[in-house]
Amino acid sequence: MAGVEGAYARVADLRADFTQEAFNRSLAQTITAEGTVYLKRPGKMRWEYRTPSPQQIVSDGHSLWVYTPDLNQVNVGEAPRALAGPAGSFLAGLGKVREEFTVRYLNPAAKTDAAGNPVLDLTPKRPTPVLTRLILTVDGNDFLVRKAVLYDQFENTVTMLFTRITVNSGLADRLFTFTPPKGVAVVPLEPMR
């Protein structure tokens, strides 16, 4: 864990390609997606989904935009509320895993997967309905996460594989803002209180 926390404490920004499998347990259905993720401190992110249909999830740390071209719609909300919890800020969260999670090896006898990468089983100290368990496969050389499996309260899972990871390349802040295209419906993420 010291290696993971140290590695992510030094990451100012990160870019990676990803593949994602979202498994719905009650429907016994898996939806596969792929795209590119960009992360930057503090709290900035951009997820660009290419498949199964284009979508962008963008946050500058204050606002969150979810743009779905097929619906000609962008949902807008406040980032801190929408991203609350231990998984909300990937870079900041991985820099202090032991503050947010109870950590153990997934298989204490083996400690690693077949490729020799450590596999960690994390339980949130304050679980939320959307995150009750997190399993991370970490590169044994650079301590960056290569695979993450997130479990929710219904044991649905989201499995993410990260490849072509680039760190500290100086990602521009403009990547983390979103201006809706002309004619796109703007809908609040949450009803106004």
What is the Cα 97 distance to its own chain's centre? 14
- What is the rounded average pLDDT for all residues in the chain? 89
CA–CA gap between residue 87 and residue 163 (Å, rounded): 20
Give the chain's largest Cα–Cα span: 57
- pTM for the whole structure: 0.88
**The two structure tokens encoding residue 49:** 């989904």
User: Which is more confident, 168 or 107?
Assistant: 168
Q: Return the higher-pLDDT residue of 61 and 184.
A: 184
Report whether pLDDT(69) > 80: yes
Scanning 96-163, the segments in alpha helix (DSSP H) are 97-100
Higher pLDDT, 68 or 192: 68
Domain 2-180 has what CATH class? mainly beta
Amino acid 95: pLDDT:
73
For the chain, domain boundaries: 2-180
Place 106 in a pLDDT band, splitting at 50, 70 and 90. very high
Owner of token pair 């864990």: 1
Q: Residue ranges of the alpha helices (H) in the chain? A: 2-9, 79-82, 90-94, 97-100
Instruction: Assess contact for 118 and 4: CB atoms under 8 A.
Output: no
pLDDT digits (tens, 9 = 90+) for 133-161: 999 999 999 999 999 999 999 999 999 99
- Estimate the share of the chain in helix, then strand, then coil, as percent rounded to the nearest 5: 15, 50, 40
Is residue 75's pLDDT more than 60?
Answer: yes
